[in-house]
Amino acid sequence: MGSPAEAAKCTKCSEELDTTGYPLWCRKCRAAHKREYEQTRKEMYTNQAFLTGARTMRQSLAVAFDGLGGGQFSGVEISDLILRAPLPTTDQAP
């Protein structure tokens, strides 16, 4: 009868385990997970940066229009509309 290490299988793909530690994944599955994790992390950072920029832009426009005051249009009304406008989604980013 073999030792537990010899009988161990990868919990993701059921291939023979060629690594130690937790989780019980083979090198191929660990590498795939690492690639997916890094890609997701980059996407999350990009999305957060875009949304931060959009919020900043919206606030900046509101301040600019508010400074115009009344005229042919009401700057206060426009700033209110800009502040209430929904943020663009990340798929609308340039």
pLDDT in tens, 18-44: 888 888 999 999 999 999 999 999 999
Closest to 24 (Cα-Cα) out of 6, 7, 11: 11
CA triple 27-18-5, angle to 5 deg: 145
Residue 1 has pLDDT above 50, yes or no: no
How many structural domains comprise the chain?
1
Structural domain containing residue 19: 4-92
pLDDT in tens, 44-78: 999 999 888 888 888 877 777 777 676 777 778 77
**23: which DSSP letter?**
S
pTM of the model: 0.58
Residue 8 has pLDDT above 90, yes or no: no
Contact 59/65 with Cβ under 8 angstroms? no
Residue 90 has pLDDT above 80, yes or no: no
